Amino acid sequence: MSSARRGLVRTGLAVMCLVPMLLAGGCGGSPPQYGAQVVAVPSRDVIALSADDIVRLMQRAGFEDFDIVELGTELRNDLATAGAAKIQRGDKVETIFAVEGDCVYVSSHYSGSAIYDVKAGRFR
């Protein structure tokens, strides 16, 4: 096999090894591979939510289980520190979550709007 052909084979193998890493989202800290990300939005009120609260909020907003697992922790942290957050894919905002008092207001592109009463653990 000629040296040029061996070089081409090595390059092809390197590309084949890199493609799965790129498809899996690359290095840690990057947004999930499907492009959704949670963005904190400063607000007046903040609230500490349980994991169950986050699941209820995200399910009501129309998110799949995979999305909840991937984005739920960051959403929970943002609502506890900033008071509001939006989930977007690219330039498109899919859902906005905002804290006011003991309630979380949800406005979703998919399922409309809702108000979650944190103390009662249910939607109004």
84 shares a domain with 59: yes
Which residue from 83, 81, 95, 80 is spatially nearest to 38, judged by alpha carbons? 95
Residue labelled with tokens 């103390």: 119
100 shares a domain with 118: yes
Comparison of pLDDT for 35 and 56, the residue scoring more: 56
What is the predicted pLDDT for the residue at 11?
40
90 shares a domain with 109: yes
- CA dihedral sign of residues 59, 122, 71, 95: positive
99 shares a domain with 79: yes
pLDDT in tens, 71-104: 999 999 999 999 999 999 988 999 999 999 999 9
Residue 113 corresponds to which tokens in the numbers above?
Answer: 């709007």
How much is the pTM?
0.72
Query: Which domain does 114 fall in, by range?
Result: 32-123
Instruction: Read off the pLDDT band of 3 (50, 70, 90).
Output: low
83 shares a domain with 64: yes
